[in-house]
Amino acid sequence: MARVMKIRRVFENFVPYEWEISSQEVAKMANIPVEKVLRLDTNASPFVPKKWLSKLKEILPSLQVNQYPDTRYPELLDKVCKYANVREDCVVITNGADEGIDIVSKTFIDYGDKVIISAPTYSMLKISSQLAGAKVIEVPRKTHGFEDDVENIIQVCDREKANVIFLCNPNNPTGNFTEIEKIKGIVEETDSLVVVDEAYYEYCGKTAANLISRYPNIVIIRTLSKAFSLAGARVGYLLANEETVKKLNLVRPPNSLTVISIKLGAIALSDIQQMEEWVKKIVEERERLYNLLSSIEKIEAYPSETNFILFRVKDLDANIVHKKLLSKGICVRNLSDVRGLGNCLRVTVGTREQNNRFLQELEHMIGQ
């Protein structure tokens, strides 16, 4: 008789991350070559960093891939410090933002702790908290504009004695930004650790990072996946007060980045001008795409300060629109089952050509 393996209790009511459909599956569904599949569902950059890859190619033969990297990642750490304008003892290098979320959760969440999340938001914030054994309390965002309900967050935190508060700013998937003064208010009015996911910081240019020098109870999560076009390299970092960083380093794995991703991250952070050029193009396309979506009668588009746009389909089923787009080889994120986002889809801002292809198919299938 086969033995049934026991798993942790946290999985009893656990909802895992919904993995994106593979490009190969979409290509088969649409009967097109895989290179024709348009990925507008992952919020990755459409720009391939060819210049940086060429520099990496030149030094690849000298990289000691047979050895583990220096666990401090000194070259990358130096570049992050200069970019974020902080001291070395205020930074933790991570394997993308997701490892940053995981490190924070493992450091500050005990089994049974209360964690507050401003929802709807990035699903990994809840998932990582649950895996650490937390009871997650979701505080709904305000109906108008999806802004964080700061007063309610503070009240719930005080009542529930929450240990950690997770915020995403600008927020994924709604695209809106909550002003820094309101974030500061949460930090000052609670004893909880306030964790702010700033994965889309570069697209709005506003950050709560200046608060880390004054408050030990705030951690900023950032990544090179979005604006720096390095989603496949997995490079991120945490910013926090030096005492908080000491605690985070108790948990941080010693070698979670490869020598290749470390070098590529350092090359990228040495060329901020290139990143800023890409961001400018995306922001310009974002505004154009938003205006065009807003002009479609059956679409309600929401303003964004990120590299994606959330939109609601009116008088149609978003699930059907999503499937029809897939049948044309176009992937967008289906959020229609997320509480507060009924009948909503999210589209990543691509190049003008990519955005035009998406718009053309969308307008055709909704009959406008």
Q: Please state, in angstroms and rounded to a whole number, the distance separating the CA atoms of residues 139 and 181.
A: 19
Domain boundaries, the chain: 17-43+273-365, 63-270
Q: Please state, in angstroms and rounded to a whole number, the distance separating the CA atoms of residues 27 and 22.
A: 9
Query: What does pTM read for this prediction?
Result: 0.96
3-class secondary structure, 294: helix
Helix pair 352-365, 318-327: axis angle to 10 deg: 120
17-43+273-365 and 63-270 agree in CATH topology: no
Q: What is the pLDDT of residue 41?
A: 97
Angle at 66 between CA 236 and CA 48, to 5 degrees: 40
Domain boundaries 17-43+273-365, corresponding CATH code: 3.90.1150.10
Helix (H) or strand (E) holding 28: helix 23-30
> Is 174:310 a contact under the CB 8 Å cutoff?
yes
Domain boundaries 63-270, corresponding CATH code: 3.40.640.10
Q: Please state, in angstroms and rounded to a whole number, the distance separating the CA atoms of residues 148 and 278.
A: 29
Q: Please state, in angstroms and rounded to a whole number, the distance separating the CA atoms of residues 357 and 292.
A: 13
User: How many Cβ atoms sit within 10 Å of the Cβ of residue 364?
Assistant: 11
Give me 167's structure tokens: 């915020």
Q: Please state, in angstroms and rounded to a whole number, the distance separating the CA atoms of residues 64 and 107.
A: 31
Helix pair 259-269, 50-59: axis angle to 10 deg: 130
Taking only the tens of pLDDT, the chain with its 368 residues reads: 667 788 888 888 888 888 889 999 999 999 999 999 999 999 999 999 999 999 999 999 999 999 999 999 999 999 999 999 999 999 999 999 999 999 999 999 999 999 999 999 999 999 999 999 999 999 999 988 999 999 999 999 999 999 999 999 999 999 999 999 999 999 999 999 999 999 999 999 999 999 999 999 999 999 999 999 999 999 999 999 999 999 999 999 999 999 999 999 999 999 999 999 999 999 999 999 999 999 999 999 999 999 999 999 998 999 999 999 999 999 999 999 999 999 999 999 999 999 999 999 999 988 75
Q: What is the pLDDT of residue 13?
A: 82
Distance of CA 355 to the CA centre of its chain: 21
